[in-house]
């Protein structure tokens, strides 16, 4: 009974109910936007899969990891936030924390690999041009293996998973380093190899890219117009570089700072609301990356535009076909009614497929037509006359 009550107290929220409701509402928005953005990005990548470049494999992998985080974390965090406590027990708490670390580290490591590949292609084109799709696939597998080592570590007693200080989610036990050596080594390794090292590689890679682009732009301006294809490509790389750096630092630095404060400082002095706010910023990265690449990558944007245009055309054609079917049905019914009213004088129905031009069928338009009558429609009225009284105009006037 004591253990049950202790577990119940651990999983209770330590922030106000209003803050939990706000967090649950924001998580709901993040979930919807992330699902929509990452699914669209993956759909666009699937349609342009024959023309994917090696660096774009990392964009796809980034979207997969963000989508994995969305599907594994938000469905559990949202109801818990609205309920003002963690609802899913100890085992699910461990799995939730493992998924959060796995997909989070995979996204960060993937951004690191992407920055390195971009730097290789821009700064060392001789080596970058040799980077193929098979190399990209191997590096993507390496990204997942690298993240898995740190995600599975706490399950093997290297570090620990526990409820977050604010109570409605689970992550690494940031208080454990204060009284356990293995947990301390895990936190130090996590900080060095999963934050400091990736951040350094990203910063240096994009710094070299910016310097290279600046130098090449000056060379281009001395010889040709700056509005060249090369200059435009360099501008795109700069935009993506800045966007990725801002996304990485803006989303994960607050959580890393609060976590290190709790791990190496006085954990009791860290407000639970600070952890909650930092975790919210970290989870917002799942909506940031799809927006950046769908807006800033011209080939992705063009493919998305073609897909949406094709969808609109199909919807329009479907509505047009349904309208044509309705129109054809009403027209055939009206023609059937009018054909009944067109009869020969002997009671037989007039044949419309016999002659299209009476001048070309004089043998059929002889005296035998004296007893034949036809209905001639003149504006809104019609009259019945003998066939011999008709002129030699084409029979297209007949109904």
pLDDT tens column, 198-247: 889 988 988 888 888 777 666 555 554 444 555 555 556 557 666 767 77
Does residue 389 lie in a domain region?
Answer: yes
* 142 CB-near residues (< 8 Å, 6+ apart): 113
Tracing tokens 């999963």 back to the chain, one arrives at: 194
Entry pTM: 0.72
Does residue 334 lie in a domain region?
Answer: no
| Structural domain span for residue 368 | 343-399
| 301 and 347 co-located in one domain | no
Count of structural domains within the chain:
2
Does residue 311 lie in a domain region?
Answer: no
| 117 and 196 co-located in one domain | yes
| 357 and 266 co-located in one domain | no
| 75 and 164 co-located in one domain | yes
d(CA 85, CA 11): 6
At 1-57, the pLDDT tens digits run 445 555 567 788 899 999 999 999 999 999 999 999 999 889 888 888 888 888 889
| 261 and 374 co-located in one domain | no
- Helices 197-223 and 89-123 meet at what angle, rounded to 10? 30
| 349 and 294 co-located in one domain | no
Tracing tokens 């801002």 back to the chain, one arrives at: 246
| 273 and 397 co-located in one domain | no
| 366 and 261 co-located in one domain | no
Q: What is the CATH number of the domain that holds 112?
A: 1.20.1070.10
């Amino acid at each position: 009974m004591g253990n049950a009550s202790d577990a119940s107290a651990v999983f209770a929220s330590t922030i106000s109910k209003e803050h939990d409701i706000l967090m649950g509402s924001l998580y709901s928005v993040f979930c919807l936007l992330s699902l929509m953005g990452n699914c669209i990005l993956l759909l666009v990548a699937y349609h342009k899969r024959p023309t994917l470049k090696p660096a774009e494999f990392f964009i796809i992998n980034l979207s997969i990891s963000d989508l994995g985080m969305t599907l594994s974390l938000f469905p559990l965090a949202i109801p818990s936030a609205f309920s003002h406590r963690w609802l899913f027990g100890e085992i699910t708490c461990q799995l939730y924390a493992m998924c959060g670390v796995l997909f989070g580290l995979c996204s960060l490591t993937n951004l690191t690999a992407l920055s390195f590949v971009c730097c290789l292609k821009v700064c060392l084109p001789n080596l970058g041009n040799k980077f193929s799709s098979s190399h990209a696939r191997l590096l993507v597998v390496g990204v997942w293996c690298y993240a898995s080592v740190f995600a599975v570590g706490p399950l093997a007693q290297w570090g620990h998973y526990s409820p977050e200080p604010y109570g409605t989610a689970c992550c690494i036990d940031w208080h454990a380093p204060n009284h356990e050596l293995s947990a301390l080594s895990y936190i130090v390794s996590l900080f060095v190899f999963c934050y400091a090292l990736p951040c350094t590689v990203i910063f240096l890679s994009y710094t070299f890219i910016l310097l290279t682009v600046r130098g090449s732009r000056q060379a281009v301006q001395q010889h040709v117009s700056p509005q060249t294809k090369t200059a435009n490509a360099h501008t795109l790389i700069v935009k993506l570089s800045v966007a990725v750096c801002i996304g990485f630092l803006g989303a994960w630095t607050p959580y890393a700072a609060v976590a290190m404060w709790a791990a190496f400082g006085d954990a009791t002095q860290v407000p639970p609301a600070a952890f909650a706010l930092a975790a919210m910023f970290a989870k917002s990265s799942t909506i940031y990356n799809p927006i950046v690449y769908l807006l800033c990558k011209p080939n992705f944007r063009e493919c998305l535009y073609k897909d949406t245009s094709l969808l609109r055309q199909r919807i329009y054609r479907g509505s047009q076909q349904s309208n044509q079917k309705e129109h054809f049905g009403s027209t055939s019914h009206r023609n059937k009614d009018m054909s009944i009213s067109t009869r020969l004088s002997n009671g037989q129905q007039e044949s419309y497929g016999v002659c299209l031009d009476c001048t070309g069928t004089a043998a059929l338009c002889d005296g035998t037509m004296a007893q034949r009558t036809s209905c001639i429609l003149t504006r809104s009225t019609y009259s019945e006359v003998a066939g011999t009284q008709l002129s030699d105009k084409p029979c297209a006037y007949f109904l």
